[in-house]
Amino acid sequence: MTVKIASAKLVVIVGLFAVGCSPEFGDEPKSSAEVFSNPIIPGFAPDPSIVRVEDDFYLVNSTFEYFPGIPIYHSNDLVNWELIGHALSEPDTVELQRVQSGSGIHASTIRYHDGTFYIITTNNVDGQMANFIVTATDAAGPWSAPYVLDGAPGIDPSLLFDDDGRAWYVGNHMPPDPQFPGQAEIWLQEVDIEQMRLVGERHFLWRGCCGGVWAEGPHIYKKDGYYYLLISEGGTAYEHAMAVAISKEITGPYQSNPRNPVLSHRQFSYAYPISGVGHADLVELADGRWYSVALGWRLVDGVHGLLGRETFLLPVAWETEPYAWKTEKLTFPVFAPLTGKIELHTPLPFAGTRQNDELAFHDDFDAPTLRHEWNFRRAPERRFHDLQHSQGALRLMLQAGAIGEGEQYSFVGIRQRHFQFEAVTKMYFSPAANGEEAGISALLNDRSAFLLAVGRNDEGDVLQLTHNVNDERTDIAAVKIDADELFLKVTGDYLNYRFFYSEDGSGWKSLGGEIDGKALSPAVVGGFNYTGVYIGLYGSANSAASGNYADFDFFNYESTATSRDDWFHRQMPNENRH
């Protein structure tokens, strides 16, 4: 039965996950070929959760208002990841049609038990939370319709399948007796996994090591007879941190690790190239080694998170307390044991592997369906794209909706994954009425977007560059054109964006000059901004009914950076690069 996810109950401030990666304890890389560069998944990849199934690893991220929701990545080496599908791909099964920017699908957890994959997550419908589970026997899908868990408040749920056959839900909520605003609490309850419902007594476990400021993102692991509760605290900005507690019983009581927090970059300068580290998950390798994935920000000039939060990898060691005076010596995870931070370079987890070249993306639109990299803003209420009418082209039908909060509009885009990039498309479009437009866009979300689009006014067809800010539109530059076929290009160089057009794909002309990318920064745009910049294709009739469309012949995106690590050296120009 199809279950539509509706609102639940509780408003909670959201935080995100971060983890990193490093070598076996004490190993030193011998050459650059034996290390990988962080992040392992660049460009809007927050709240990572990971699971190993034999020699395969699977990882998921948050997607908020974007659809399809919850990308699923696969890897055999923890460093190179392939996007193989999405857990939420049917628009009618999830309430994502009209959510605001920053709402939607929050942190998800992926687990595997007895031949089945489970993803548990939260849908935030503008402040109302619904927690649900989807299942699959193949991580690439198909995935089940959502099973909503009644009576499950809060965000960031996780599952533990214990070795006695019982399954447990762990999440957060705002306690009835908070000591200060924003204090959250981790709670636990058994799940009847066959009936998909919470059963038994609810247990309240921990408010964290640092006062419980936005305690969230909990995961429980069982190791050597102990239960380990790993949580995020401090929010998803500079003060983000990870803490761990231990118990002999899953229901507690839990004892805080005296060395908490176990992972954070809060002690570094705001200018340090990797910030906001947290929201981590752990995975054990087949040979007994452990790694963690975590989110972090790569902030331009220490402020501007254009790419959103991304996924980092780091090693984890387990150390037993050395104190002779303790009768029971406890063992705790140590993240990045040699340095205590997420590093730019870390030895490869598996010898004989290498990190692939930077991600590039090209689509000739010759497949029957859109490739996994493409996203819509919100689940479409009606289909507005077509790959059949014009062979080898993507057709976008113009909808009445335009870029704006909670709107349905014709946009398909991919994540901006690099600070320096170039994206090019070829468009066929002839506006039939004033107000119709189509082109290429760079947007953070509905609150801030740049649009290079062909439209029509009383003087004829024009190519116009505009900036949409909170439903208000500012014209930047325009030029009259006399062509139905046009090449469009957008480039990025950290905080500098440029927009170009050409009639032949080689003689490029700039429109609007250098654009200040701070207008796309989450630090500048108001409200909660949990995503990164997208580059995509757009069409609108701007409040009018229309049967018109735009055809796009291809889309090409690639990095223009000199090297994968340029961003780090730019932020720390005097660091030792040996």
Whether residue 43 is found in the same domain as residue 167: yes
Q: Which of 47, 185, 422, 437 is catalytic?
A: 47
CA atoms within 13 A on the CB side of 181: 1
Could you tell me the two tokens for 341?
């931070």
Instruction: Give me the pLDDT at residue 32, please.
Output: 66
Whether residue 164 is found in the same domain as residue 304: yes
- Model-level pTM? 0.94
Whether residue 365 is found in the same domain as residue 340: no
Whether residue 305 is found in the same domain as residue 454: no
Instruction: Supply the CATH number for residue 292's domain.
Output: 2.115.10.20
Give the three-class secondary structure for 566: helix
Instruction: Give me the pLDDT at residue 33, please.
Output: 74
Q: Which of 65, 156, 185, 216 is catalytic?
A: 216
In a domain, 65, yes or no: yes
Instruction: Give me the pLDDT at residue 576, please.
Output: 55
Across 344-409, where does the E strand assignment appear?
A: 345-347, 361-363, 375-377, 385-386, 394-397
Nearest by Cα to 539 from 426, 401, 404, 414? 401
Instruction: Give me the pLDDT at residue 35, please.
Output: 97
Whether residue 114 is found in the same domain as residue 208: yes
Instruction: Give me the pLDDT at residue 38, please.
Output: 98
In a domain, 110, yes or no: yes
Domain count for the chain: 2
Kindly give the parts of the chain with pLDDT less than 50.
Answer: 1-29, 577-578
pLDDT, tens digit, for every residue of 34-77? 999 999 999 999 999 999 999 999 999 999 999 999 999 999 99
**Residue 471 CB contacts under 8 Å (≥ 6 apart), including other chains:** 404, 405, 446
CB-CB neighbours of 127 under 10 Å? 12
Whether residue 412 is found in the same domain as residue 309: no
Residue whose entry in the numeric block shows the structure tokens 């279950």: 3
47 annotated active-site: yes
Instruction: Give me the pLDDT at residue 31, please.
Output: 61
H or E element, residue 445: strand 437-445
Whether residue 321 is found in the same domain as residue 386: no
Range of the domain at 278: 32-347
373 annotated active-site: no
Instruction: Give me the pLDDT at residue 573, please.
Output: 73
In a domain, 26, yes or no: no
Whether the bond between 315 and the residue before it is cis, its omega within 30 degrees of 0, is no
Whether residue 397 is found in the same domain as residue 266: no
Whether residue 189 is found in the same domain as residue 213: yes
In a domain, 10, yes or no: no
Whether residue 435 is found in the same domain as residue 502: yes
In a domain, 243, yes or no: yes
Instruction: Give me the pLDDT at residue 263, please.
Output: 98
Whether residue 337 is found in the same domain as residue 366: no
Instruction: Supply the CATH number for residue 401's domain.
Output: 2.60.120.200
